[in-house]
Amino acid sequence: MKTTRHATYNLNYHIVWIPKYRQSVLVGEVARHVETILHEIADDKGLEIIDLTIQPDHVHLFVSSPPKHAPSLLANWF
């Protein structure tokens, strides 16, 4: 459990991205670059990435966030 001044929470979101036409573009250097970018965004916004899996044709991101951030806002940030 995590706490803020006004809340105790355990909010985790599973966000999945699929490139158009589900082509295998997330391999090699591109996958490493995507992973670096996602971790930088999480660090900048104060979020915790619980699990990150980059498949050749999609990305699974499991992230923990305080209740002040809407899930749609997280998707926009990432």
Tokens of 53: 């899996």
Q: Is residue 5 included in any domain, yes or no?
A: no
Q: What is the mean pLDDT of residues 68-77?
A: 95
User: pLDDT of 42-64, one tens digit each?
Assistant: 999 999 999 999 999 999 999 99
- CATH number of the structural domain spanning residue 20: 3.30.70.1290
Nearest to 17 by CA among 71, 45, 54, 43: 54
* Residue 63, domain extent: 13-77
Q: Within 10 Å of residue 65's Cβ, how many Cβ atoms?
A: 21
Kindly report whether the global pTM for this prediction surpasses the value 0.85. Answer: yes
Q: Is residue 2 included in any domain, yes or no?
A: no
Q: Is residue 31 included in any domain, yes or no?
A: yes
What total of structural domains would you count in the chain?
1
